[in-house]
Structure 1
Amino acid sequence: MSAAKGLGPQPDREPEPEPEPGPGPELEVLARAALTRVLEPGEEHGGRWLRAFGGVGLIRLLTGPEKEMGALTGVGPERLCGYRRRAALADPRRDLAAAAASGGRFVCPGAAEWPTQLDDLGDARPIGLWLRGRPNLRTWALRSVAVVGARACTPYGAHMAQTLAGGLAERGWVVVSGAAYGIDGAAHRGALASGGATAAVLACGVDVDYPRGHAGLLGRIAGQGLVLGELPPGSHPTPSRFVLRNRVIAALTRGTVVVEAAHRSGSLVTARRAQALGRLTMGVPGPATSGLSAGVHELLRGEAQLVTDAAEVIELVGGMGDLAPERRGPVLARDLLDPATVRVLEALPAGRLVNVDEVTLAAATDTDEVIGRLYELHSLGFVERQGDGWQLTTRTPGPGTQTRATRRGGG
C-alpha cells in the first residue's frame, strides 16, 4: 500500500519539466545545407564537430555568442572567424529553393537515400550531397563502378573508356565519373549511348555547367541519370575541390577503373583512395611507350587488377558466378591429338617419304605403335601413304578433321 494513502489531501506538486525535444530532421537538413556554405569538402575538423554536436548544434555554435566558440577546437581563431562570417551569410532555405527550381534536392547522412558506403570516409565524409536527377542515389550506388582517367586522352583511351562504360551499362551497372574532358566524358557518353545509367560527381554546384563544353552532356546525364556534388548551388570549382571530389567517387562505387593516366594524374588520387578504402582498383593497360599510360602501369605493378573489357570488371566487382568468358586462341586440329600421336607426327620429316622403321627410330617407340598412329593420322588428314612410304600431307586439316579428332578421343 502506498504511504500516501489515508493521509488526506496532498499538496499540489510542481510538475516535472518535460525534456526539450531534439532538433527534428527538417532542422538538421537546414543546418547541414547551411554548413555546405561554411565548410570546404573533406574538412576533417568539421567532421569531428558534426559528430560531436550534430548539424544544428554546430550551426548554433557558429552563429551564437563568440564566448561559446571554445568548444570548436583544432583550428586557429582566424579560421574560426571566417567560419562565423560564412555561417552568418548562409541562407539554406534559399539554396534549397534554388536546387528545387533546377530539379535538385539535398540528401543528408541518415536519410533513406544516403549511400552508407560514404560513411567509410569517417570525418571526411560529405556534410550532405546536392543531387540533380530522378533516380535514387543509394540504390544506384549499390551496383556502381567508377571509370576515370586523363583529360588529354588519346583516341585509344577514349575508345576504351566508351566501350568499357557501354558494356557495364548494358549489364546493369551504373558508370560513375567526374564529367571532365577526356576519359570522364567518354565514359559518360558510352553509358548514355547504351541506354544505361551514369552519374557525374562534380567539384562545383550541380546547377553549374563545368566544363562549359559539357553543358549538353551534363543536361543529358541529369535527364537520364544523376548529377551530384557537395557544394551548394552556384558554387564554382577550384583545383583543390577537384582533388577532394575524387574521394567521393572512390567511396561511392564498388571499384575504380583507370583507363589512361600519367604519373601525376588526378585519377590516380581516386584509385589510391579507393585502395585505402578497401575498394577494388583496376587499370586498362596501354602502350609501354605512352606517357599517358605510365600511371596506370604503375598501379598495375602494385595491387591494381588488369582489365580489358566490361566482363572482366564485373568478374571482379560483381557477385559469385559473374565470370568473364575464358579467352584463348583458335583451337587447331593438331591441338586435339594425344601426346603419343603428336610424337609420331613430329617424327615425319618435311618434304620426303619415310618408311615405318625410320619413323619408329625417330619416335623412340615400337613398330606396332607407330603403324597404329600413322593410320590414325592418315584418317585425320595429317599424313598420306605412297607404297611402303609415309609423308606429311601438303594440305592443312580443316574443321571437319577437328570434329573427327575429337570424336576419336584425341587429347
Structure 2
Amino acid sequence: MTSCGVNDEERLARAALTRVVEPGDEHGGRWLREHGAVELMARLTAPRLPEGMLPGAGERRIEGYRTRAAAVRPERDLEAVAAAGGRFLSPGDAEWPRQLDDLGDARPVGLWVRGRPDLRIWALRSVAVVGARACTPYGAHMAARLGSGLAERGWVVVSGAAHGVDAAAHRGALAAGGATVSVLACGVDVVYPRSHAELIGRIAEQGLVIGELPPGSHPTRSRFVLRNRVIAALTRGTVVVEAEYRSGSLVTARAAQRLGRFTMGVPGPVTSGLSAGVHELLRGEAVLVSDADEVAELVGDIGDLAPERRGPVLPRDLLGPAEAHVLEALPAHGVLDGRDIARRAGVTTDEALGRLYELHALGFVERHGDGWQLVRSALHPSNIRRGGA
C-alpha cells in the first residue's frame, strides 16, 4: 500500500526529516522541493556545510537543523510505528492524498499513519468537523449529530480528537458504524489528551489516526495550530461548530478558504461567545448549515441534495386556487350573502355559491340562511378538519 514510485532511500530520508523539519516549515519545504529528501539529509549531515548551500535561513537556524539531523535514527521510528500497527507515507506513494500538495512548500514531509483503510481513498470523500474544546451541550449535540449523519451518508468525518466538538464528531461517526480520521499534533503512538485513550484506540481500530510527527513526539501549541492546515487540505470542506473569535477552529476554516475548500458554520445563540467566531465566518464566505444533509449537498456530487425544507402541510394548502380565492373573500367575523362574497372575490354569484358549497363540505364555512361565514376553526388553519361539515 505504500509502494509505487518511492524507493527505500527516499522513504528513509523523509522519515528522518520529520524529526528535523517542524510541520509547516516552508524553508525546509523549499529545500526539500529543490534538492530532494536524500540530498537534503546529506547536506544537513555533512561534516561542513558550505555557505549558501541552504539559502533563506540564518546560521543559528541552520545549525539547529543540523543538530537534529545528526541525532535522527529513522530506522527506529519506522520500526516503532510498525510495532504500533502503523506505517509511514511519502508523497508519491499510492496512498498519499494528493490534495495535500495544495499546501505547496508547507506540505507535510510525510505522514505517520495507524489504521487499516487507505487514506487516499478515504480523503476523497471527507469532511472536517471542528470547534470549541470547551463547547456547550448544544455544540456537543450538533457535532455528534453531524458526525453520525455524515457517516450514515458515506462521508468520512475528520477532526483532531481534542476535547469538545472534535471528540463529539468522532464519537458520532463511530456510533453510526462509519468512517473517521483523527489528525494529531503529536506522534500517532502518543495519546493526547490522555483522557481520550479509549477514543483514539477506537479510531485506530475502526478508522485512521494520522500525524506529521514521528513516534513518541509530544504536542506543542504551535503544532496544534499547524496541524489545522492538514485537516483543511485533506478534506472537501470544513464545518465549524462553536468557536470564539480567537479559536484554532477558525484557523482551520480560514485555511480551507485559502485552499478553495468549502467552509461552513453551524449557528448558535447570538448571546454566546462560543458562537461569535462562527457567526463572523458566516458574515463572510462561509455557508450556514444545520445538519448533515445540508453539508453533503454543498460538498457532494450533483444530485446529492438535501430534502426540501417546509412547514407542515395544512388542509387549507390543499385547496384549489378558485376555492382558496373565495375563502379569502369571507370576513374573519360576521355573515355575508353569496352576492357580496362574489363581489369581493371578483367572480359570478353562481361560481361563488358553487365554491362555497365545496368549502362547506370540507368544513371551512357554515351556512346561515342565505348567508355564509367562516367556521371558528377556519381562523386557525392547523385545526381545520379534513372531512364533512
TM-score band w.r.t. shorter chain = over 0.9
TM-score under structure 2 length normalisation: 0.94
Report the counterpart of residue 398 of structure 1 in structure 2. Answer: 385
1:357 to 335, 339, 344: 339
Residues 205 and 232, structure 1, Cα contact 8 Å, conserved in 2: yes
Deviation at 1:172? Answer: 1.2
Distance 1:324 1:263 in 2: 30
Does 1:287 find its partner at 2:243? no
Distance 2:224 2:69 in 1: 23
Report the counterpart of residue 59 of structure 1 in structure 2. Answer: 41
SS of residue in 2 equivalent to 1:228? strand
Residues 61 and 69, structure 1, Cα contact 8 Å, conserved in 2: no
Deviates more, 1:153-162 or 1:345-354: 345-354
SS of residue in 2 equivalent to 1:199? strand
Report the counterpart of residue 380 of structure 2 in structure 1. Answer: none
Deviation at 1:398? Answer: 2.6
Residues 363 and 387, structure 2, Cα contact 8 Å, conserved in 1: no
Distance 2:49 2:328 in 1: 93
SS of residue in 1 equivalent to 2:367? strand
Deviation at 1:103? Answer: 0.9
Report the counterpart of residue 333 of structure 1 in structure 2. Answer: 315
CA-to-aligned-CA distance 1:186-229 (integer Å, 9 cap, x gap) = 00100111111111000001111001111111111111111110
Report the counterpart of residue 220 of structure 1 in structure 2. Answer: 202
Higher alpha-carbon Rg: 1
TM-score under structure 1 length normalisation: 0.89
Report the counterpart of residue 5 of structure 1 in structure 2. Answer: none
Report the counterpart of residue 245 of structure 2 in structure 1. Answer: 263
Query: Are the structure 2 counterparts of residues 369 and 101 from structure 1 closer, same or farther at C-alpha, using a change threshold of 3 Å?
Result: same
Deviates more, 1:182-191 or 1:332-341: 332-341
- What are the within-5 Å matches in structure 2 for residues 8-407 of structure 1? 25-68=7-50, 70-395=52-377, 396-399=383-386
Deviation at 1:245? Answer: 0.1
Distance 1:400 1:172 in 2: 44
Distance 2:296 2:81 in 1: 35
Distance 1:298 1:135 in 2: 36
Residues 61 and 68, structure 1, Cα contact 8 Å, conserved in 2: no
Residues 315 and 386, structure 2, Cα contact 8 Å, conserved in 1: yes
Distance 2:386 2:247 in 1: 49
Number of residues of Structure 1 aligned to a counterpart in Structure 2: 379
**Structure 1 portions without partners, runs of 5+:** 1-22, 402-411
Distance 1:84 1:311 in 2: 50
Query: Are the structure 2 counterparts of residues 321 and 24 from structure 1 closer, same or farther at C-alpha, using a change threshold of 3 Å?
Result: closer
Deviation at 1:80? Answer: 0.7
Query: Which letter does structure 2 place at the counterpart of 1:330?
Result: P
Deviation at 1:389? Answer: 1.8
**Structure 2 portions without partners, runs of 5+:** 378-382
Query: Which letter does structure 1 place at the counterpart of 2:219?
Result: P
Residues 6 and 92, structure 2, Cα contact 8 Å, conserved in 1: no
Computed over aligned residues only, the root mean square deviation of the Cα atoms, in angstroms, reads 1.6
Deviation at 1:24? Answer: 6.9
